[in-house]
Amino acid sequence: MNALQLSTKIKNNPEWRKAYDRIANAKSFDKKMKAYQNFEKRFGINLNDSIGIYLKGSL
């Protein structure tokens, strides 16, 4: 799945959007990393790589 497909899926799926918003709204680095890990474990996609950089720009 490329970044465009993933961003479309996150925008259109409220469950994915809620999980992504937890990452975006985290107040501390530790909470942000935990939110990234939870997203990866739940959906099987690592956002902490190059795809995550593109996603941040498109969401």
In which residue are the tokens 């593109």 written? Answer: 54
Name the pTM for this structure: 0.75
Residue 58 is predicted with a pLDDT of 62
How far apart, in whole angstroms, are the C-alpha atoms of residue 21 and residue 59? 10
State percent of the chain over pLDDT 70: 81
The letter for the amino acid at 25 is: N
The mean predicted confidence, pLDDT, of the chain is: 84
In 3D space, the residue among 13, 18, 22, 20 whose CA is nearest the CA of residue 55 turns out to be: 20
Instruction: Name the H helices within 1-59.
Output: 3-12, 14-24, 29-43, 50-58
